[in-house]
């Protein structure tokens, strides 16, 4: 494991009566080695990394987990964030979901108590005041500033929440979340089989955008 080094000096001085200092050995250098990687990483669990919500949904619940250090109290901050611009997938644009219109701006701190490996982060959606941006729409939730010996996973410390217009699109994008993890043959075969079944029928551009995303991954 890569390590960083911290060092400092200790000096001996002012000895008591009857003692003398050895001037050639009055200084000692102390080195501390610390792993560059924190002992525990905090991240969004599979199923919460690319979550999908129907246009009429009013709440999305995400699971946040830590991989080690369950005996310690840890914390991590979170905040919602709009996309800076639309994302293009095939012929479809994923529009930015707008804070205050599509979802309630949310920020705060999650606490992991000793023995607790997961916690839940809820975000309120507001379809009744939804923006005019076309579906699918997307916004993000970022984890940052972990404390208590924890760090935020560089890959899975951000959740991309996609809002879609119908249940079929929701099913397509739900498959994409299964690819947000280290992959093996079983996962790939399961996702590819599901995709092949779904694309056998006519699909909308919104649904095909999810298929193109899956192929790209």
Residue 95 lies in a domain: yes
9 touches 29 (CB < 8 A): yes
pLDDT in tens, 123-162: 999 999 999 999 999 999 999 999 998 999 999 999 999 9
Instruction: Find the domain containing 75 and state its range.
Output: 40-166
Contacts of residue 173, defined as CB under 8 A and 6 or more positions apart, other chains included, come to 50, 52, 136, 162, 164, 210, 213
Residue 177 lies in a domain: no
One domain for residues 58 and 82? yes
84 touches 142 (CB < 8 A): no
pLDDT in tens, 36-49: 555 789 999 999 99
One domain for residues 72 and 141? yes
One domain for residues 13 and 101? no
One domain for residues 20 and 68? no
Most confident of 21-35, 123-137, 161-175: 123-137
One domain for residues 60 and 25? no
Paired strand residues for 147:
75
The residue whose two tokens read 């009013």 is 58
Tell me the C-alpha distance between 110 and 113, whole Å.
Answer: 10
Residue 215 lies in a domain: no
Radius of gyration of the chain (CA): 25
Least confident of 1-5, 87-91, 130-134: 1-5
One domain for residues 17 and 86? no
One domain for residues 16 and 81? no
**Structural domain total, the chain:** 2
One domain for residues 133 and 98? yes
Contacts of residue 21, defined as CB under 8 A and 6 or more positions apart, other chains included, come to 12, 13, 15
55 has pLDDT over 90: yes
pTM for the whole structure:
0.74
Residue 96 lies in a domain: yes
């Amino acid at each position: 494991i890569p390590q960083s080094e911290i060092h400092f000096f200790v000096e001996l001085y002012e000895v008591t009566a009857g003692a003398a200092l050895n001037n050639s050995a009055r200084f000692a250098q102390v080195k501390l080695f610390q792993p560059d990687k924190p002992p525990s990483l905090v991240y969004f669990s599979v199923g919460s990394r690319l979550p999908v919500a129907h246009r009429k949904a009013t709440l999305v619940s995400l699971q946040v987990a830590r991989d080690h250090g369950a005996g310690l109290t840890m914390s991590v901050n979170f905040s919602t964030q709009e996309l800076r611009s639309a994302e293009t997938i095939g012929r479809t644009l994923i529009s930015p979901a707008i804070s205050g219109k599509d979802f309630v701006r949310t920020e705060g701190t999650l606490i992991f108590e000793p023995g607790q490996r997961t916690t839940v982060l809820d975000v309120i959606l507001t379809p009744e005041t939804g923006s005019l941006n076309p579906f699918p729409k997307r916004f993000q939730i970022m984890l940052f500033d972990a404390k208590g010996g924890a760090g935020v996973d560089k890959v899975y410390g951000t959740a991309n929440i996609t809002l879609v217009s119908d249940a079929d699109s929701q099913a397509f994008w739900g498959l994409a979340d299964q690819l947000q993890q280290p992959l093996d043959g079983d996962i790939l075969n399961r996702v590819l089989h599901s995709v092949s079944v779904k694309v056998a029928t006519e699909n909308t551009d919104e649904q095909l955008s999810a298929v193109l995303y899956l192929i790209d991954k």
